[in-house]
Amino acid sequence: DPGNWNLAALPTSADSIVFNTVQANPYCMGLLSSWTLSSVGFKESCEIDLGANKILTSSGSVVFDGGSKTFTLKSGKVEAAGNRIFLGDGTSGNTLIVEGANTILKSPEATVGGNNFFSLSPNYGNNHVIIRDGATYDGNVMMAVNSTGAKNNSFTVTGPGTKWTTRGVRNTRLYVADNQSIVISNRATAVLSGVPIGQGINHEGSIWLGTVNNSAVGQNHRLVVADGASLWTDQSITAGRNGSNCEIRLADGGYIGSGYTVMLGFNKVSAQTSGNRLTVSGVGNGLYARGGVIIGYGPGSHANGFVVQPGAELAYGGSLIAGEDEADDSNYMTIAGTMS
């Protein structure tokens, strides 16, 4: 309704909009099927109910950031077409929920050297994203990019029909700050596309649990696939890229497939990369690694472990390697399940 705006006209693609206050009714688009703005920001807890098949597009960024606020996208599509999506850019304790079969959140097409991704808590901690109940998130995720104080953030994809997809050449990474987690559960699916093999970063892959660069160490990151959920990537998955005590866990019918390698402990800095582990726990859980499994890559990569428990399945091409470098020690694998 144009009458709801100060200028008695709807904002256009040249305008940047920040929603600072919330009425009793959720935001909606009325008769509009699509609406493009220069940038979009949400500052207060709210429901964003656009309506099925309706699209709110920012030609720049979309920001959810108010401090201990909850933002719920209930229907329609919200897209950042030019820059990135932010949650917790300047505050802590925010939650973004994307729910329902008619609901899509999309970040820009990812490009080499670009900033086109979901930037979850670049500077602040305790921010959480939940994709659930058949909704879709289309894009990559970067967690805690800039600050070691941006701890305890999470990205969860859960529920039958819920999807996480990526495309382009940027990867999903848990970065410098400690205690970041990705959970895929309850029959949700994730299909992640990374850099095509042969472009020079094959050992880095589609998912990193570790750090942003070669000078800092991130610890205690988790990737959990459980309760009938599945994750497929055409690239590698690395737990402990310049990081320690990072974990990949499959439980209760979880499945992970990698079109390249699965790596535990990938050290490119002087600090030790140790205590990273992958556990495939019991009947109904499976891991496929087309390029094999490497436990301990690079000097100073110690005590990284791979465990396949009874009843679980492991299928791989290439090799199973524990300790790629002669300086690596105490890396281990225990395989009690089915192997092919």
pLDDT at residue 195 tops 50: no
Return the residue matching tokens 């701890």. 151
pLDDT score for 148? 66
248 backbone dihedrals φ, ψ, rounded to 5°? -115, 125
Rounded average pLDDT over 38-58 = 89
pLDDT score for 69? 93
Confidence of residue 15 (pLDDT cuts 50, 70, 90): confident
pLDDT score for 147? 60
Identify which of 80, 77, 160 has the alpha carbon closest to the alpha carbon of residue 116: 80
Taking only the tens place, the pLDDT of each residue in 117-127 is 677 776 788 88
Identify which of 279, 269, 222 has the alpha carbon closest to the alpha carbon of residue 246: 222
Q: Which residues have CB under 8 Å from 81's CB, separation 6+?
A: 36, 57, 58, 59, 108
Taking only the tens place, the pLDDT of each residue in 83-103 is 788 888 888 899 999 999 999
- Distance of alpha carbon 173 from alpha carbon 171, whole angstroms: 6
Q: Which residues have CB under 8 Å from 306's CB, separation 6+?
A: 264, 277, 278, 293, 295, 322, 332, 333, 334, 335
Confidence of residue 27 (pLDDT cuts 50, 70, 90): low
How many beta carbons lie within 10 A of that of residue 13, not counting itself?
11
Taking only the tens place, the pLDDT of each residue in 224-257 is 999 999 999 887 888 877 778 889 999 999 999 9
For residues 282 and 270, the model is more confident at: 282
pLDDT score for 119? 76
Q: 15-21 long-range contacts, Cβ below 8 Å, gap at least 24?
A: 16/40, 16/41, 16/60, 17/41, 18/42, 18/43, 19/43, 19/44, 19/46, 20/44
Q: What does the block give as tokens for 117?
A: 């991704």
pLDDT score for 335? 86
Q: What does the block give as tokens for 106?
A: 């999309």
- Distance of alpha carbon 223 from alpha carbon 207, whole angstroms: 9
For residues 72 and 24, the model is more confident at: 72
- Distance of alpha carbon 132 from alpha carbon 252, whole angstroms: 19
SS3 307: strand
pLDDT score for 226? 96
- Distance of alpha carbon 193 from alpha carbon 259, whole angstroms: 10
For residues 142 and 177, the model is more confident at: 142
Rounded average pLDDT over 300-309 = 88
pLDDT score for 146? 58
- Distance of alpha carbon 178 from alpha carbon 116, whole angstroms: 23
Taking only the tens place, the pLDDT of each residue in 156-168 is 999 999 999 886 5
- Distance of alpha carbon 119 from alpha carbon 172, whole angstroms: 10
